[in-house]
Amino acid sequence: MNESFLHYLWQFQYFDKSELVTSQGESLSVLKTGILNSNAGPDFFNAKIKIGDIDWVGNVEIHVKSSDWLAHHHEIDSAYDNVILHLVWENDKPIFHKNRELPTLELKARVADSIIKEYKRLISNPAAIACEKSFTKVDPIIKHSMLDKALMQRLEIKANNINELLKINLRDWDETTYQLLARNFGFKINADPFFQLSKTLPYKIIQKQNSLLQVEALLFGQAGILETKTKDEYISLLHREYHLLAQKYSLNNSRLNAAQWRFLRLRPSNFPTLRLSQLAAIVFASKNIFSKLIEVEIYESLKKIFEVDQSDYWKTHYRFGPKAKGAVPKIGESSIENIVINTVVPLLVAYGKDKDEQRYIDKAVDLLQQIPAEANKITRTWNELGLSIKNAFDSQALIELHNNFCQKRQCLNCNIGVSILKPLQ
């Protein structure tokens, strides 16, 4: 038995409610279950119950055993002063708070065995999707409502992470956007060094440069991956520019080490050298990058911001040294989609929440609906369960559902799981 299951039982009132009595023998009626609290404090706020002839409005606290009240030290926490009902699986000890015995309701004898067995069967299923055998029987409306919930949770988490970064950057939206963009140019494998690089080389320095060569020199130099011995004219120019700019902006002691960058097992199109050249072209071409990104209304216009050609050297090279066998393409469409999903969309949500302007959040959702669905192991798993994944809205929602509901067995917080566990009438 766990508290999450008891929350579920209370929220949906899935227990025998005939002749309810408190531990003190007083009659009890549930008039309003209250609002589930996911933060610190009592489990349900603003519940309404009737004990004897008196109506009570307040909070409900839930524990497996009544003695958990003391184990969790609620007796010294004023946040629990307005608890009107202590809901427990087992009432193993009378609990007193503020010189009064807490009204307690024990559920152990009031829950059908079938509900408990179905819950245990679901969460103990070793499959990646615990409800896979029942999934196709769930009403499509319930599935879609859960996708909406999962997507908004995913966007909320990403927006909160951006807000933390924004605080560090003293509410500089351009700097924050540049750092997020850099991190996403690392595409997981090199995300950390890209992000570290962006923190050692502020966007305000990049904005001051008059040529793409200078921006490239700064990025490659700070990345610590400029070749040291070369007769190549382009690389020699980068060396010269970086030497001057590093002295001007006092950058010499903050550059990264070449060993931090990973090339092994990467396709050439994902080599960090090429990605840095593409990032340089974009940030040089896009002054005030934050405003430019969030004011675009349609995805096709947004794509054009990222479809900038890298400099001539990087049209024939994937890394410093020998030329590539063929022409090196500019950043591909799938990469742009990834950057928009993981940079632009969360930025729009964070900004909309910060300014309390829903239109930015709506724009973020609309962008996801314009982008093709991602194809990966997680989305293939859902496809095998017969789910149609139409766009990035769906794929992002399903990634969140898989990672933070299914994998963590949060079935009781999932509309689909709740639907499956609903007892037959």
State pTM to two decimals.
Answer: 0.85
SS3 353: helix
pLDDT in tens, 219-231: 999 999 987 777 8
Q: How far is CA 222 from CA 44, 131, 258, 358, 364, in A?
A: 52, 49, 10, 39, 33
Contact 404, 153 (CB under 8 A): yes
- The pLDDT assigned to 231 comes to 83
Q: How many residues belong to the chain?
A: 425
pLDDT, one tens digit for every residue, the chain (425 residues): 899 999 999 999 999 999 999 999 999 999 999 999 988 999 999 999 999 999 999 999 999 999 999 999 999 999 999 999 999 999 999 999 988 899 999 999 999 998 999 899 888 889 999 999 999 999 999 999 999 999 999 999 999 999 999 999 999 999 999 999 999 999 999 999 999 999 999 999 999 999 999 999 999 999 999 877 778 899 999 999 999 999 999 998 889 999 999 999 899 999 999 999 999 999 999 889 999 999 988 999 999 999 999 999 999 999 998 899 999 999 999 999 999 999 999 999 999 999 999 999 999 999 999 999 999 999 999 999 999 999 999 999 999 999 999 999 999 999 999 999 888 65
Q: Which of 304, 206, 191 is nearest to 251 (CA)?
A: 206
Give the span between the Cα atoms of 53 and 27, in whole angstroms: 9
Give the span between the Cα atoms of 179 and 198, in whole angstroms: 5
Domain boundaries, the chain: 3-111, 189-332
SS3 75: helix
Give the span between the Cα atoms of 133 and 137, in whole angstroms: 9
Q: What is the DSSP string of 376-421?
A: SHHHHHHHHTT----BHHHHHHHHHHIIIIITTT-GGGSHHHHHHH
Q: Can you list the positions of beta strands (E) in 5-101? A: 28-32, 35-36, 44-51, 54-65, 83-90, 96-97, 100-101
Q: How far is CA 191 from CA 27, 32, 180, 222, 303, in A?
A: 60, 48, 10, 15, 21
Q: What are phi and psi of 372, to 5 degrees?
A: -60, 150
The CA-based diameter of the chain, rounded to the nearest angstrom, is 93
Quick one: three-class SS letters along 127-187?
Answer: CCCCCHHHHCCCCHHHHHHHHHHHHHHHHHHHHHHHHHHHHHCCCCHHHHHHHHHHHHHCC
- The pLDDT assigned to 424 comes to 66
